[in-house]
């Protein structure tokens, strides 16, 4: 019905590139926003946008520096957070990010990042999906623009990848898992 602009940094110019909501958003209100200025987090506990990491080093870049907007995203595993309704629920703070150049993982809410090693020849990452059973089921899939490939799948949390064949000229634009 209506929209309201939300600024993560008042009086700053930045480009928003991606948003991800905690699977437990109704409990924790956790939201991540990737911008050209860095990755920000909002949570019920803090109730303000907190800059988790700035671009540079292994931190993914977003906005025009990250490539086309369609090739940028944040993904939270289904087990992200702390489900207070489940006894012995693991508290996971893992966030995955991707841009045209790569796939990144943070195990501390985006404070520090590790770039995953990807197969050679990938011209652009277009999407990322994580198994609903992650981390017990460590399957990752990426849609790509690459010669003779439309996607790559890893069954070992991104250590090795198997290509999904495609005809030259085709690109994988999105990927999903059930």
Both tokens assigned to 114: 């590790």
What band does 160 get if pLDDT is binned at 50, 70 and 90? very high
Looking at residue 91, what is its pLDDT? 81
pLDDT at 42 over 90: yes
This prediction's pTM: 0.91
Which 8-state DSSP code applies to residue 104? E
Higher pLDDT, 91 or 161: 161
Query: CA 139 → CA 66, 93, 96, 128, distances in Å?
Result: 24, 18, 13, 11
Judge whether residue 121 has pLDDT over 90: yes
Region 103-132: what's the mean pLDDT?
96
Assign 60 a pLDDT band (cuts: 50, 70, 90): very high
Close Cβ partners of 60 (under 8 Å, ≥ 6 residues apart) = 34, 39, 66, 97, 98, 99, 102, 104, 113, 115
Summarize the confidence of residues 161-172 as an average pLDDT: 92
pLDDT: which is higher, 164 or 47: 164
């Amino acid at each position: 019905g209506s929209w309201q602009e939300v600024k993560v940094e008042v009086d700053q110019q930045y480009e928003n590139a991606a948003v991800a909501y905690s699977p437990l958003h109704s409990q924790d209100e956790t939201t991540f926003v990737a911008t050209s200025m860095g990755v920000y987090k909002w949570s019920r506990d803090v109730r303000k946008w907190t800059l988790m990491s700035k671009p540079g080093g292994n931190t993914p870049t977003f906005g025009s520096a990250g490539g086309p907007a369609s090739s940028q995203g944040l993904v939270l595993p289904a087990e992200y957070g702390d489900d207070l309704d489940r006894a012995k629920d693991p508290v996971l703070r893992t966030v995955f990010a991707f841009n045209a150049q790569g796939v990144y993982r943070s195990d501390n809410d985006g404070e520090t990042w590790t770039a995953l090693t990807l197969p050679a020849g990938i011209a652009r990452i277009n999407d990322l999906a994580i198994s609903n059973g992650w981390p017990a089921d460590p399957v990752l899939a990426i849609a790509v623009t690459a010669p003779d490939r439309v996607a790559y799948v890893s069954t070992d949390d991104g250590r090795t990848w198997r290509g999904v064949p495609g005809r030259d000229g085709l690109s994988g634009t999105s990927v999903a898992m059930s």
